[in-house]
Chains A and B, each alone.
Chain A
Amino acid sequence: MPKVLSLSDLLLRGRGAVSNDVDEEIALHIDARARALVQEGLSPDAARAEALRRFGDVSATRRSMVTSAMRQRGRARRRDQMENTLMDLRHTVRQLRRSPGFASAVVITLALGIGATSAMFGVLDRLLLRPPSDVREPERLGRLYLHRLDEGQEITITEVSYHRFDELRRGAAAAIDVAAAYYGPVVTGNSENARQVRGALVSGNFWSVLGARPALGRFFTLADETPPDGTPLAVLGHGFWRDAYGADSSVLGTTLDVGAGRFTIIGVAPPGFTGDGVTRVDLWLPAATARAVFTHLDAEWIGRHNFSWLSLIGRLQPGMSPPQAEALLGAAYRHSLDAVRGPTPGAERAPRASLWPLLLERGPERTDGTRVAMWVGAVALLVLLLACANVANLLLARGLRRRNEIAVRLALGVSRARLVRQLLVESLLLAALGAAAGMVLAWQSSGFLYATLFPGLEIAASAFDRRILLFAALMGLAACLLSGLGPALYASRADLRSMMGTASRSHGHRSALRTGLLVAQAALSTILLVGAGLFVRSLREARSTDLGFDADRLVVARIQVRSATGLPGGSSPVYREFLEPLRGVPGVTAATTTLQIPFSTSGSTSLAVPGIDSVERFGQFRLNGVGEDYFETTGTRILQGRALNRNDRAGSPLVLVVSDSMARVLWPGESALGKCVQVGGPHAPCSEVVGVAANIHQYDIRAEPSLQYWFPESQNQGNNSGAFGVLARVQGDPAAMLPAVRRALEPHVPGSAFLTVRTLRESVDRVLRPWRLGAAMFGLFGLLGLVIAAVGLYSVLAYSVGQRRREIGVRSALGAQRIRVMRMVLSQGLCATGIGVGIGLLVVLAVGRWLEPLLVGVGPRDPMVLALVATTLLGTALLASVVPAWRATRVDPALALREE
């Protein structure tokens, strides 16, 4: 058998080569045939003609042969590539198994980066990117806010009355279809079986505006919204239908008691339907049936404006633009306002409307949780970058170690493209492993993230889904390219002469790249650590903020009434009745009724003080009507005068206790005791200030202490009387006391109401949670960044010392002292770190103000944090450099020189 050319030779040639081959084959055949015919006795010309005749249609055969060959060639090339890739993969796996330390370092680094980024992406995707499910054309939908001037300042109105909604809907119908919704707890079932579920009261057109279709039955419509109380129809949430009714479709037509009403079930919402929000909803009711839930409303409520509870959404009519809708809504709002107060010059109130994205967190009502989530997401991205820089550095070092092998392979004719591909396979494999581990991490942590950032918000859908997986995969790919491409290109640039011969002398620009990566790492670590420091300090400040009351000692008990008429005489008598049994519970040392519950509710009314013009200019004064043992119960200290006591009752002289802050703004430099305050305005009677109490934070830890005053709830000040709940002061852990408190109070709860008992700490913790998470995440990532940077620095310096053995040997031989050699290596590491820290600090100074709204009691440029971070990083750099530096001094000149 004659020698054949290799298959791959053929494969590498193009279509031209293929048709040449075919032509040659055909020519050969015809020649051979003609020769055979000549031997049979034909003349050469006749033989040729006969040969062609026997062959048939030459051009058709040729075409068919070329096409077939091309197809086969393409298939073979693909198979070849696949085989090459598999070979590369096997090669890579072998290599990685040989250095498990390197492999696991890279995978863990990438997993943490990718996991953190993906988990945060999941949260932000749900809150900021993805439209709610089962919504048709979400881009035509928007959330509506109203604005008007109030004492010269524009205020934003997020909730409106049913009447206003109705007027806006009719007024702007030409441009936008406006719907309204309220989300809140509702009570279903009767007395013992009563339970609280997540409800929503929505306007009849809510369904058509969102474009949702029922999973079962039908939805209610605007026609069911007849005043005064609408038609009592209910649509079940899909999850509730499944959990409470076992997904039984015969549920349609049955009735369900909700609040004070009896509702007929007419439909089931689609699975995962959350309306315009993100939380699960169990029960959808018509907004016009509000009186069943809000039992204090009277029969005329639907025509009044004093109960603002509905948030507004709208769908643009076909062909209408947001500005057109805003203009019509603004006009409708003006009409609605004028109808109440009579026309006023427009400039005075300047009512207008604005259209925002449907997602709540993208509008003016964004929560701290989302802000923190965005920061943590950015931080996670930084960590991923840091991880990529580190992996790039590690790969670069490996590439340099392997450059002899690479140079040899290049010399043997392996193409650079093939080599780069092979090196990329390595980073791709590492990134794939990292991404897989990252997905597990994201999956494990997403539930925890939601619970921490958004307590009480039960996200309807699973916190982990395809989009997160896709994102993690994309991040993995990006990480692979980011960390692998540079090193692969560098490594493939190896050339035989410089590599094999004078290996160690030409690494100048490669080490420049590595130093650049080190600087970047140090800068990123600086940013992370500064963030961590600021959040940790904020958390500490927030925690140590003197709330003015003992949040850790207090239990709150409240009742929720579910009857149409309310309780005879209101709920205050019930709360007063609670006090005796409460005091009887072992471990309860004091109990009081209260109108406002810290970190849950607050209230204010107009106030006048003789001798002071318009006290409102000092800010909002928050009121509280309290029982006789209030200060003893909460632990709020009395600084001057006396606390309220049992002698302050209905009929006795009106008295007040004011907070220190209130006393200082109203009567600076004088004693507040004995001063007169008119609660309810200038026509109200004087209340005498009898005490000054310590400042308290009623709602917000970040804000200044509230301007606060307390009066006896029995003295009925400006219609702000009554009780809203009871507070009990307990010894020991309040959470452990909850069952005992519940048992003691349960017999005194009227049948038409149900009891909730919780610790005050819960409410305070809810407020602290974003900082806690921020501190934990920044702290974790900052530490991670520090470790990554330290490992990177160590490996670079150790490598560089290894490379410069000869140079160091020569220096030592020429008489350089060890200390100078050591200084040389140390300064290399410290310089890179120093520059990185400098850059990081500059970045922090530049972007710090964006962080400011999230910080408590500490500025974004806090010198202590900045100094501490710089010291930590430089100290770490020093530590990481010591070992390589020490090793450099141990280089034996004779040995190092002989190695060459």
Chain B
Amino acid sequence: MSGELPLSPEDVAEIVAILDGGAYERLEIRTTRFTLRIARDGGGWTQQWDWAEPEAKAAVAETAAAAAAVPEGLTAVHPPLPGTFYRAPQPGAPPFVEIGDAVGPDTVVAIIETMKLMNPVHAGAAGRVEAIMVDNAEAVEAGAVLMTIRPA
């Protein structure tokens, strides 16, 4: 976090207007804080900014948490998308399911909130809820195991 904004949108438009009058195809401005690439792309121009600091670059390579091992004989319930896991339709409402409840493949067992949209999570198999691995309102990745089902 630091001081000046490097170039305003008007500055970029002006640079493009200058380039557009000539034979240039691309321009790269590299500073310690950012890289800006302006390129002719078909009929138009694009601006591409790279603000990544070394630490942030490393973060790009972050590994997705390995999915927890699922004991043999059980079926895992995964979220349809990464997001926030909710056990009940609304705060204060009873949970969709409890451990030991019987479920069918289409039974809604939880909700995943992704980008403010509520996505139902289906059991995916008929059986009984064996375990619930994630706490209510916890953030989960796409490969996470939310629950396990012991098939009937």
Partners in one complex: no
Chain A contacts to B: CB under 8 angstroms: none
